[in-house]
């Protein structure tokens, strides 16, 4: 298709969360109108878009209205029904495609894709029935049992050490299809953001080093402080392989485990901008959200350039609650007095424990300086300083 030029087109988003909100902001800055379809009456993205269609993701009237009013449509989260994307693709340009999103929605299918793309993943077994449960190789234990679908931020995951614990965990997960992954000794968790256009052009960001707490991303540092050049090169090459094998269009995040023995194995992928890529909003020449807009609109994709060392701190709703009670916003004025701090709040109406409320980017001329300020910021917020 010819490119959708800024100032002349309307872009649609399935999903009203914070990723959709930041996509809308990036698109509007370039001159596009935006329409969000989300079932919630109040949503972060719907609050800032030119129009909010309040409808279920499989509501035919809502999808028809979105297709009628938009020139191209994307999604802001991977669990939107693939059928909704298929329906829209019959009427408008949709990126990423339903087939690519469907791969990311099922861990078993996802791992098969990694293997077919020539990118190694952790040893694993698919469990869908009692026969497959009984046939699990004992070498996979201890391991992590994960639901094949709908798991994110540590949800739908159980650590198991023995065959008995595995059987109990599968029962506790309602015997839904699962993947058992062997637990591997980790040196670090890494991720790579890839953007790919419909013409096959591919660009990537530098490797990101991530720290998770309770299954939720807590800290991202770029440049990755502990990663040698050869590991970074392999991670980027592997991420490009995965995107090319999917014929992917849009922004894709690939997460890796860097093991104690030096090996790199792929963990999972997300067919959208990613929490670990929020640093790009202040530390790079082009943000992940602008690249999502460009890929959807068929515009050129510039090779991203990191201009500042950056540390990203995730801000969960727990920060709004203290020993005295809550919810009360943190002392943002004290935090923003620190050099190189950039606060991004997502416009969510209510703070809740574990809910992603925003993030803080800390930029500096050197990784050491960014890290030092990030430690000060974490201390002010009452966050752990174990990074």
Binding site for ATP: what residues are annotated?
Answer: 107, 146, 151-157, 181-184, 189, 212, 267-268
Q: Which of 29, 56, 34, 55 is nearest to 45 (CA)?
A: 34
CA distance 134 to 222: 43
Q: Which residues are annotated as a binding site?
A: 107, 146, 151-157, 181-184, 189, 212, 267-268
Q: Which of 101, 88, 14 is nearest to 57 (CA)?
A: 14
CA distance 6 to 31: 5
CB neighbours (10 Å) of residue 128?
A: 14
CA distance 28 to 359: 21
CB 339 within 8 A of CB 332: no
Cα angle value 191/193/197 (rounded, 5°): 155
How are strands ordered across the β-sheet holding 143-147?
A: 124-127, 178-182, 143-147, 157-160
SS3 content of the chain, % helix, strand, coil (to 5): 30, 30, 40
CA distance 79 to 45: 17
CB neighbours (10 Å) of residue 21?
A: 27
Q: Output the furthest CA–CA distance in the chain (Å, rounded).
A: 60
- Identify the H or E element spanning 221: strand 216-222
- Alpha-helix residue ranges (DSSP H) falling in 90-134: 98-104, 107-116, 130-134
> Which residues, in sequence order, are CB contacts of 179 under 8 Å at separation 6+?
107, 108, 111, 124, 125, 126, 127, 145, 146, 148
- Residue 41 token pair: 């009456």
Strands 10-14 and 143-147: unpaired
- Length of the chain as a residue count: 387
User: What residues does 342 pair with on adjacent strands?
Assistant: 361
Give the rounded distance of the alpha carbon of 361 from its chain centre.
16
């Amino acid at each position: 298709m010819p490119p959708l030029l800024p100032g002349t087109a309307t872009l649609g988003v399935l999903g009203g969360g914070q990723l959709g909100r930041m996509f809308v902001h990036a698109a509007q800055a370039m001159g596009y109108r935006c329409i969000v379809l989300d079932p919630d009456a109040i949503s972060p993205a719907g609050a800032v878009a030119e129009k909010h269609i309040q409808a279920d993701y499989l509501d035919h009237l809502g999808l028809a209205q979105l297709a009628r009013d938009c020139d191209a449509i994307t999604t802001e989260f991977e669990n939107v029904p693939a059928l909704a994307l298929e329906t829209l693709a019959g009427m408008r340009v949709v990126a990423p495609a339903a087939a690519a999103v469907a791969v990311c929605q099922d861990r078993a299918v996802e791992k098969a894709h990694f293997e077919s793309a020539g990118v190694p993943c952790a040893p694993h077994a698919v469990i869908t029935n009692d026969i497959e449960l009984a046939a699990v190789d004992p070498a996979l234990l201890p391991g992590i049992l994960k639901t094949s679908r709908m798991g994110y931020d540590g949800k739908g995951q159980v650590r198991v050490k023995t065959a008995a614990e595995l059987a109990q965990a599968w029962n506790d997960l309602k015997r839904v299809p699962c993947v058992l992954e062997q637990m591997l000794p980790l040196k670090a968790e890494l991720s790579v953001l890839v953007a790919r256009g419909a013409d096959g052009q591919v660009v990537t960001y530098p490797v990101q080093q991530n720290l998770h707490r309770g299954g939720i991303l807590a800290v991202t540092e770029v440049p990755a402080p502990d990663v040698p050049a050869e590991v970074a090169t392999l991670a980027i090459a592997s991420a490009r392989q995965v995107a090319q094998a999917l014929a992917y269009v849009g922004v894709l995040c690939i997460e890796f485990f860097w093991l104690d023995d030096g090996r790199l194995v792929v963990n999972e992928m997300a067919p959208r901008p990613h929490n670990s890529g929020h640093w790009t909003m202040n530390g790079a020449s082009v943000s992940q959200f602008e690249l999502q807009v460009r890929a959807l609109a068929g515009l050129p994709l510039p090779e991203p350039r990191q201009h500042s060392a950056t540390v990203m701190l995730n801000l969960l709703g727990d920060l709004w609650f203290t020993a005295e009670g809550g919810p009360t916003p943190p002392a943002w004025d004290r935090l923003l007095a620190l050099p190189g701090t950039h606060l991004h709040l997502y416009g969510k109406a209510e703070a809740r424990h574990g809910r992603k409320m925003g993030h803080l980017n800390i930029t500096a001329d050197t990784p050491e300086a960014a890290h030092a300020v990030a430690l000060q910021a974490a201390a002010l917020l009452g966050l752990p300083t174990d990074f």
